[in-house]
Amino acid sequence: MNRANTLAKKEEAIQNFRFVGVLVKDVPYGSGHINDTFLLEFQQPDMGNHKVILQRLNHDIFKKPVQVMENIMGVTSYLRKEIIKNGGDPDRETLNLIKATDGKPYYQDSIGSFWRAYYFIDEATSYDQVEKSEDFYESAVAFGNFQKLLTNYPADTLYETIPGFHDTAARLEVFKKAVADDVCGRAASVQKEIDFVLQREELAHVLGDMLKSGELPLRVTHNDTKLNNIMIDDHTGRGLCVIDLDTVMPGLAINDFGDSIRFGASTATEDETDLTKVTCSMDLYDIYVKGYIEGCGGALTDKELEMMPTGAKVMTFECGMRFLTDYLQGDNYFKIHRPEHNLDRCRTQFKLVEDMESKWDTMREIVTKYK
């Protein structure tokens, strides 16, 4: 949707949510690139002002927005009850949806776009980069606590809004087909990277097989466990609320843990071209393991704890394989800013995998220290 249409339909959406008061402020908000996000401020006589977040969901990314919103509504309603039960603040410790005038947790406008609204969480900030280790620790505690609060939520009742999102074995088959088809004639130049994947085929199957056998339980997972999806309280510095629940689905807790390590414990950016800079920091890994296990508060099984290092390795391997697949297929999925951008991204992930392999005993010992 172009900007003019977005703005026009935004006015329609505003009229169709249960907002209270007079609109006094309406500005674009945040650094996200998927949904269109706006911060609205309403004035109420004798009650001061309050803020809300209004978003238009990107229908190109989220093909089944009703399912996305039903997942979010189910999870946030459950979280609110659990937070109240634990004596917390449900208005700040979880997202709270504002319903449309027809009672639904979303509004579909006259051209078919979907909108949603949340109450804004004041005096809290999300950070795009790890500025200090305490923030990384707090994000770990918050994601762990998210897992603990949802331990008894029936994960199998959630929609799988992105089918096969972390089905590493299925992604391996897509990769093999990309190699065989070689539509861009690039395979010969990346044989080293192709061999890296093929030498670790068993890695693509281990977690999925353990889920099927019942060794690992199906859980409610966030699936985008980056630092910027945690609100940090401005006054206490504590992790306050998990946000961006668009990818909440059934999955494995250790995949959520693993993706945090892949992204947050790396000493370099995801597209660093100097691979000598790319390592998995054991200091950051230690900090995150400590926080995540504390946040989970005993919710994880012994087998899940044991497999945490494997979760980090598999998620990093899967991500590198996805970057390489996209490079072989012509860079159709991930946005690129230079000709070999996806190849650079692939190489950083594979370097991280190698580094984890060299530090495997240390990674396991750190988990044992805190479990």
In the chain (371 residues long), the average pLDDT of successive 10-residue segments reads 68 95 92 83 87 91 92 98 97 97 96 95 87 91 98 96 92 98 98 98 97 97 93 94 95 97 93 97 97 97 98 98 97 92 98 98 98 87
Residue pair 326/332 in contact by the 8 Å Cβ criterion: yes
Cβ atoms within 10 Å of 61's Cβ, excluding its own:
13
pLDDT at 337: 93
pLDDT at 62: 84
Task: Give the Cα separation of 244 and 223 in Å (integer).
Answer: 10
Task: Give the Cα separation of 76 and 95 in Å (integer).
Answer: 6
Task: Give the Cα separation of 53 and 322 in Å (integer).
Answer: 32
Cβ atoms within 10 Å of 112's Cβ, excluding its own:
10
In CATH terms, the fold of domain 133-370 is Aminoglycoside 3'-phosphotransferase; Chain: A, domain 2 (3.90.1200)
- The 3 state secondary structure assigned to the chain is CCHHHHHHHHHHHHHCECCCCEEEEEEECCCCCCCEEEEEEEEECCCEEEEEEEEECCCCCCCCHHHHHHHHHHHHHHHHHHHHHCCCCCCCCCCCECCECCCCCCEECCCCCEEEEEECCCCEECCCCCCCHHHHHHHHHHHHHHHHHCCCCCHHHCCCCCCCCCCHHHHHHHHHHHHHHCCCCCHHHHHHHHHHHHCCHHHHCHHHHHHHHCCCCCEEECCCCCHHHEEEECCCCCEEEECCCCCCEEECHHHHHHHHHHHHCECCCCCCCCHHHCCECHHHHHHHHHHHHHHHCCCCCHHHHHCHHHHHHHHHHHHHHHHHHHHHHCCCCCCCCCCCHHHHHHHHHHHHHHHHHHCHHHHHHHHHHHC
pLDDT at 2: 55
Provide the residue ranges of all domains of the chain, joining segments of one domain with +: 3-122, 133-370
Spell out the residues 6+ positions from residue 337 whose beta carbon is closer than 8 angstroms to its own: none
Residue pair 283/192 in contact by the 8 Å Cβ criterion: no
pLDDT at 248: 97
Say which amino acid occupies 205: H
Task: Tell me yes or no: is domain 3-122 CATH 3.30.200.20.
Answer: yes
pLDDT at 333: 87
CA 32: distance to chain centroid?
13
CA dihedral angle for residue 369, residue 252, residue 335, residue 288, rounded to 10 degrees: -20
pLDDT at 162: 87
239-242 β-sheet, strand order: 124-125, 230-233, 239-242
State both tokens at 334: 């991930």
This prediction's pTM:
0.92
CA dihedral angle for residue 26, residue 27, residue 31, residue 36, rounded to 10 degrees: 60
